[in-house]
Amino acid sequence: MNSLKPSEIVKELDKYIIGQHRAKRSVAIALRNRWRRQQVPEDLRDEIAPKNIILIGPTGVGKTEIARRLSRLTDSPFNKVEASKFTEVGYVGRDVESMVRDLVELTVNLVRAKEQESVKGKALGLAEERMLDILLPKPGRQQADKRDETTENGPELVTSENEESSSTRNKLRAMLREGKLDNRIIDLDVSERQTPVIEIFSTLGMEEMGMNFKEMLSGLMPKSTKKRKVKVSEAMEILAQEESQRLVDMDKVVKNAISKVEQSGIIFIDEIDKIVGKNGGSGPDVSREGVQRDLLPIVEGSVVATKYGSVKTDHILFIASGAFHAVKPSDLIPELQGRFPIRVELEALGQKEFVRILTEPKNALLTQYLAMLKTEGVNVSFQPGAIEAIARIAEEVNSHTENIGARRLHTIMECLLEDILFDAPDMNGSDVVIDAAAVLNKLKDIKDNEDLSRYIL
């Protein structure tokens, strides 16, 4: 993030997302502002709040993808939540604070995985020594002491035996590294934690009840070991995993994870328009407005208790999105509106954009299908006219039925390639060329029949 200029962020997003230049500029500026905040004097740093964003546009135009790619680009902790899953305290549903807890949990797991990867070499070395101890147990100390007492040349004899044992150990080590022992079966003691079967039935707002009861109770239970017969190759993986877990300092992991969440976390709140009450009178509308009020302190900046400790949300970047068909961003409660100062309207996608989506991005839809079919030995190629026809049909179906944006391309591609995907295992070595006529022949009847189109495309 330190080296990325806004123009470079946009350029990276362009590799995966077609169009939506204004939205990309907005998120790029918001991201760069985070870096700028870190450079200002410390007494002013805490005063600079993140500029949260509302992305406005129909489904399938790239709102979620922009936020997700942004987090991957900068290695920022990222959590996507749907606002419609939350309800006001007192109603049945999820507590809004759970979005922060989920983000912390995800980040702890990611940081722990990275730490384990960094000590992988050392863990493999320790696992190798444990494996050699299993394959060639060391002579007992009591036996050595006994030989010292009963043999006139005891020390010399013990030294000779130790040298012989060391030589055998080195030979086994070489065989182990060369994979010659991989299929040998050994008895391995695998530790397993006894977890009591207890369910905590909680009401809303008590999802974690300040701590995770299951983890607390399982920590009180003694560890037990179970003897398993496994191949040496599998045993090495188990031992290496155990050693890497021992080498990782969990206090350091948790500290780093919380710091990452607080300084560079991104929470993407989808369907925020679903928690806007239209009439603001009674029934569900009361709960919707309640969710907004519960959401407000999280977005403004507060302290959320998690099982790993307290987390401040002051500098987490919140990106909200919604179609806003029936309501407007100004229908949000005024306090919440003020916490999302940047509003960007995303453009609807048409035939021209669909052609580019099918062919240009690094993860383009056509590229994915061609790669999957190539695994079966089937070489499929699309003529330009075929791509134009697919894009045109997608635009027409979107205009006549529900507009689901670029997601319509997925349904059309599945329908178009259904026969090839089914018969591919028996078509090894085949070359298939798809032209505009083949596309129209396959999809024309479905497209023209509005009832069929609604169900199939």
pLDDT at 182: 81
Per-residue pLDDT tens over the stretch 262-291: 988 999 999 898 888 765 555 555 577 888
pLDDT reported for residue 455: 79
The model's confidence at residue 208, banded by pLDDT at 50, 70 and 90, is: low
User: What rounded mean pLDDT belongs to the chain?
Assistant: 82
Band (pLDDT 50/70/90 cuts) for residue 51 is confident
Q: What is the pLDDT of residue 210?
A: 44
Query: What is the percent of the chain where pLDDT is above 90?
Result: 28
The predicted structure's pLDDT at residue 200: 42
CATH of domain 351-448: 1.10.8.60
Distance in angstroms (rounded) separating the CA atoms of residues 4 and 15: 15
Placement of tokens 């329908």 in the chain = 415
- In CATH, what is the architecture of 6-114+258-345? 3-Layer(aba) Sandwich (3.40)
pTM of the model as a whole = 0.78
Q: Is the pLDDT of residue 435 over 80?
A: yes
Q: Determine contact, residues 40/48, Cβ cutoff 8 Å.
A: yes
Query: Above 50 in pLDDT, residue 150?
Result: no
- 281-307 mean pLDDT: 81
Residue 314: Cβ-neighbour burial (10 angstroms; 0-12, 13-18, 19+):
middle
pLDDT at residue 223, as a whole number: 64
Residue pair 413/364 in contact by the 8 Å Cβ criterion: no
CA 328 remoteness from chain centre: 31
The mean-pLDDT minimum among 113-127, 306-320, 350-364, 440-454 falls in 440-454
Whole-number pLDDT of residue 355: 93
- 235 pLDDT band, cuts 50/70/90, is confident
Q: Binning pLDDT at 50, 70 and 90, where does residue 59 land?
A: confident
CA 354 from chain centre, in angstroms, equals 27
pLDDT at 138: 66
Q: What pLDDT score does 326 carry?
A: 82
Between 58-62, 113-117, 188-192, the lowest mean confidence (pLDDT) is in 188-192
Residue with tokens 């290695």: 75
3-state secondary structure labels for all residues of the chain: CCCCCHHHHHHHHHCCCCCCHHHHHHHHHHHHHHHHHHHCCHHHHCCCCCCCEEEECCCCCCHHHHHHHHHHHHCCCEEEEEHHHECCECECCECCCHHHHHHHHHHHHHHHHHHHHHCHHHHHHHHHHHHHHHHCCCCCHHHHHHHHHHCCCHHHHHHHHHHHHHHHHHHHHHHHHCCCCCCCEEEEEEEEECCCCCCCCCCCCCCCCCCCHHHHHHHHCCEEEEEEEEEHHHHHHHHHHHHHHHHCCHHHHHHHHHHHHHHHCEEEEECHHHHCCCCCCCCHHHHHHHHHHHHHHHHHCCEEEECCEEEECCCCEEEEEECCCCCCHHHCCHHHHHCCCEEEECCCCCHHHHHHHHHCCCCCHHHHHHHHHHCCCCEEEECHHHHHHHHHHHHHHHHHCCCCCCHHHHHHHHHHCHHHHHHHHHCCCCEEEECHHHHHHHHHHHHHCHHHHHHHC
Q: Which of 271, 264, 292, 265 is closest to 64 using CA atoms?
A: 271
Beta carbons of 388 and 396 less than 8 angstroms apart: no
pLDDT of residue 158: 47
Q: Which residue has the tokens 């208790």?
A: 305
- Distance in angstroms (rounded) separating the CA atoms of residues 363 and 369: 10
Burial (Cβ within 10 Å: 0-12, 13-18, ≥19) of residue 371: exposed
Q: Tell me where in the chain the CATH 1.10.8.60 domain(s) lie.
A: 351-448
Residue 174 one-letter amino acid: A
- Comparing CA positions, the residue from 318, 297, 322, 310 lying closest to residue 95 is 297
Q: Exposed, middle or buried by CB within 10 Å (0-12, 13-18, 19+), for 103?
A: buried
Gap between the Cα atoms of 353 and 357, Å rounded? 6
What does the pLDDT read at residue 141? 46
Residue 407's nearest CA partner among 63, 81, 11, 68 is 63
For CATH 3.40.50.300, the residue range(s) in the chain are: 6-114+258-345
Residue 147 confidence (pLDDT): 47
